[in-house]
Amino acid sequence: MSLSRGIAAAAFAATAIWCAAPTAAADESGSFTALASLVADYTTIEHPGGTLVGGASAGTNTILESSGGPFAAGEHSQVTCVVYGKRSAAGLDLEASCTSTAAGGDKLYSISKRSAGGVEEGTGGAGSLELVGGTGKFAGVTGTCTYRTAYLAEGRVVTMSACKWRRSAGRE
């Protein structure tokens, strides 16, 4: 290869990398809706100042609609949550930390909070959910969601979520 062709090829490659870099490093964001179907295994006890509830729930989550990114419409994941809450004269204070594992093994972490409704059959309520990162394709993903949960017979729980997510440039 002649020197001029080598310089031209190197300049072209440098330009291509320079032009592609802002795209690869750009912030990502989007939205999705999801439906989770879980089975709850909670224990409830009376305690001074209120009723305590704790336990686990597990099942599946399906992305119904998505603007793209790491959340693909039709994708399913397995979800496991640890739930803790208290009902007192001040109301309900319920929190669940969850891990969703996609088919490829990538994990998404979330924390949901609710202060309305209940956890007994025929109850439920609306709350907020925070996406707090993950592994693989979910690394660096954060966001917020609104959700509505319904508690059905035999410990079944259904939750609809509407989420907005983001991932900042420069993530590893």
Answer whether residue 55 is part of any domain.
yes
Task: Tell me the per-residue pLDDT of 8-30, one tens digit each, with 9 for 90 and over.
Answer: 333 333 333 334 344 445 689 99
Q: Does 137 reside within a domain?
A: yes
Instruction: Report the CATH number that the domain containing residue 42 is assigned in CATH.
Output: 2.40.160
Total domains present in the chain: 1
Predicted confidence at residue 5, as pLDDT, reads 40
CA distances, 30 to each of 39, 70, 159, 167 (Å): 29, 9, 20, 9
Whether 1 has a pLDDT exceeding 80, the answer reads no
Kindly state whether residue 20 falls inside one of the protein's structural domains. Answer: no
Q: Domain for residue 12, yes or no?
A: no
Mean pLDDT throughout 35-63? 97
The pLDDT score that the predictor gives to residue 134 is 97
Q: Is 49 helix (H, G, I), strand (E, B) or coil?
A: coil
pLDDT top residue among 111 and 91: 111
Q: What is the pLDDT of residues 145-155, one digit of tens each?
A: 999 999 999 99
Q: What is the model's pLDDT at position 169?
A: 72
Q: How far is residue 62's CA from residue 33's CA, in Å, rounded to a whole number?
A: 9
Q: Tell me, what amino acid is at 121?
A: E
Among 21-25, 57-61, 134-138, 142-146, the least confident range: 21-25
17 inside domain: no
Q: Which domain holds residue 80?
A: 29-167
What share of the chain has pLDDT > 90, as a percent?
78
* Amino acid at position 112, single letter: S
102 in any annotated domain: yes
23 belongs to a structural domain: no
Domain contains 6: no
What integer best gives the mean pLDDT of the chain?
87
State the pLDDT at residue 86: 96
User: What is the per-residue pLDDT for 17?
Assistant: 36
Q: Which candidate, 117, 147, 142, 116, places its Cα nearest to that of 129?
A: 147
